[in-house]
A = this chain, B = another copy of it.
């Protein structure tokens, strides 16, 4: 394998015009590392923010984007015990977070942050940063999981510990939101979905939404949510918008309700309605992805419930820039780049 090359996309500057397809010698897997033939890469909103320079203004170039990949182990370095050649794997973006408490984000051991991204033909990862891909999913589907699905799973099941019958308000139809909607429906919860698009809400109903609210036509969506729960309030909110949206989320919550605040989308600051927080004894928790153990538990749940990720569009590797353009337009579901 020593003479083989690996092609990968990298940024030489901010903006889609600086996304270049290049080639480099294939690295050898080191101690306890895997060499993975990448089969699919999915994009996240975060990748768009990096591309346009708004998330990491001090990025050093060249930079390989994207953190979510699925593929096949083609060789293993010394000491590898968890995988064998031929295994289908998904990379875990926070490579050093195996279980328990995690590091603060964004940190040096995250793919496409301190570590290079995954948008190439081959990927070298430590075996502790890989999980078996769900048998029930295609490579394209498996590639959608590392950030969006794991964030939703960690919020719902690892921290908020939702239970069947609870009402869960999910905001919007981004990647995290759709996974949260599907997980909630599969676990016997009652998801309420909000969006500014009736068409997206209709598709959300097909994915299991119990109730839907168009927040454009119903600006007092919090009151609408209260009404849907007989005035009692929702048990849990997945807060994905932040800013002025947060006080409404708190208003929609039941006494003892919980709210997960999701990373990058939530803006820099929100007003916190402290009286309502204390009066109703609300628990608000910041969420930033999850650990590998949670990833494995999630994959098991995906297999058990036959959940299929929503894929908006698939682009061939050579047309990766098109995937970034699609991402910017507000897709319904994940945008994936295929290297099959």
What is A's interface to B at a CB cutoff of 8 Å?
31, 98-106, 157, 161, 163-166, 183, 186-190, 210, 242, 246, 255-256, 261-264, 266-288, 291, 293, 297-305
Contacts and interface: CB of A to CB of B under 8 A. Distances in A.
A61 to B, nearest CB: 24
Contacts of A297: 163, 165-166
A295 to B, nearest CB: 12
Contacts of A187: 163-164, 187-188
A108 to B, nearest CB: 11
Given A271-B272, A284-B284, A165 B279 contact: no
A287 B298 contact: no
Contacts of A189: 304
Given A104-B279, A164-B157, A274 B269 contact: yes
Contacts of A287: 278, 281
A263 B285 contact: no
21 contacts: A98-B100, A100-B291, A103-B255, A106-B279, A164-B183, A164-B186, A164-B304, A165-B299, A165-B304, A166-B300, A187-B188, A188-B304, A189-B304, A210-B304, A261-B278, A264-B278, A269-B272, A271-B272, A272-B272, A278-B286, A279-B288
B281 A283 contact: no
Given A164-B186, A242-B274, 17 more contacts: A101-B293, A102-B255, A106-B279, A161-B161, A163-B301, A164-B187, A164-B305, A165-B299, A166-B300, A187-B188, A188-B188, A270-B271, A277-B284, A278-B286, A282-B285, A283-B286, A284-B284
B165 A302 contact: yes
Pick the 4 closest A-B CB pairs, nearest first.
A99-B100, A165-B301, A165-B300, A100-B100
A272 to B, nearest CB: 4
Contacts of A268: 273-275
A286 B279 CA distance: 7
Contact of A283 (B165, B275, B285, B291): B285
B270 A272 contact: yes
A301 B100 contact: no
B188 A305 contact: yes
Contacts of A293: 100-101
A189 B303 CA distance: 10
Contacts of A299: 165
Nearest to A282: B286
